[in-house]
Chain A
Amino acid sequence: MPPNLQPVFRALGDPTRRDILRMLGQEPMTIAEVSEHFDMTRAAVKKHLVMLSDGGLINVEPRGREKVNSLNAAALKPVFEWLSWFDKFWDDRLDALKTAIEKDQSHDTGRNND
């Protein structure tokens, strides 16, 4: 099965999240520290961090009562290799299309047999 690239794609699709990622590339930060750099609520920053985490782009580790976010540069590797990135991207999508059409056709067949 090809890895699912949608989460990393989603995570990188937003300029604020790319800014956060750049900052975490400089140094690991807690949510509070990240929030200081942006004119948005802590909850909004947290939502962005969750999406970055879903995309595998950051590691989140507890430090005392807080959580420290740091860049996982390995997850960026396929992104910098656009050809292989899209190669897997289309494999994922065409697999999904095949599945969706098979479901659709068997549904039609079922209906015709009724």
Chain B
Amino acid sequence: MTLDATMTEVSLDTTIRKSVFLAAPKARVWDFLTKADLLGNWFHPADADLAEGEDYMLRSEKDGDRMCWGKVEEATPHDYMKWSFTVGPMEGAMTTVEWHLHEAPGGTRLSLVHSGLPKNADAFGLVMALDKGWHGFLSNLHGME
């Protein structure tokens, strides 16, 4: 079998992976990921505690503007959580955010995987308005490279 061009294209990786060590037990880290008020300490306050199968909404503390939202697609307490995820400028295009919690000496290793991001902005429709004048910006942007 030869490697086909389609497969090469599919394997182009647009996934973001992050990992951070946190000096707290998994249960406490889980609280920071799911409790409405604790989410406000590092992200944005949620309308309600996050629960599997439920939609979530994170709002600006300042004026209540919608900041990030989606659905909690899976939640296995203290180990794993999967969100559909979007932000305002994405015009409703959904991506996937997964959280993995691993026990580590003295705390927790928290890993984030953000997938489903297109290769460029086109698919998000932020540039949808090329006909409304964005092309001017884009040529400016190309000029800066």
Which residues of A are in contact with B by a Cβ distance under 8 Å? 9-10, 12-14, 18, 22-23, 25-26, 71, 73-74, 76-77, 79-83, 86-87, 90-91, 93-94, 96-102, 104-105
Q: Pull 27 A–B residue pairs with CB atoms less than 8 Å apart, ordered by A.
A: A9-B87, A12-B88, A12-B126, A13-B65, A22-B129, A22-B134, A25-B137, A73-B141, A76-B137, A77-B141, A79-B126, A80-B127, A80-B141, A82-B120, A82-B124, A86-B16, A90-B18, A91-B18, A93-B42, A93-B43, A94-B18, A96-B41, A97-B110, A99-B42, A101-B28, A101-B42, A102-B23
User: Do the beta carbons of B140 and A73 come within 8 Å of each other?
Assistant: yes
Which label, helix, strand, loop or mixed, suits the secondary structure of the A interface? Answer: helix
CA A73 to CA B135, docked complex, whole Å: 11
Q: How far is the CB of A21 from chain B (nearest CB, A)?
A: 9
B residues adjacent to A (C-beta < 8 A): 14, 16, 18, 20, 22-24, 28-29, 32, 38, 41-43, 60, 65-67, 87-89, 110, 112, 114, 117-118, 120-121, 124, 126-127, 129, 132-134, 136-138, 140-141, 144
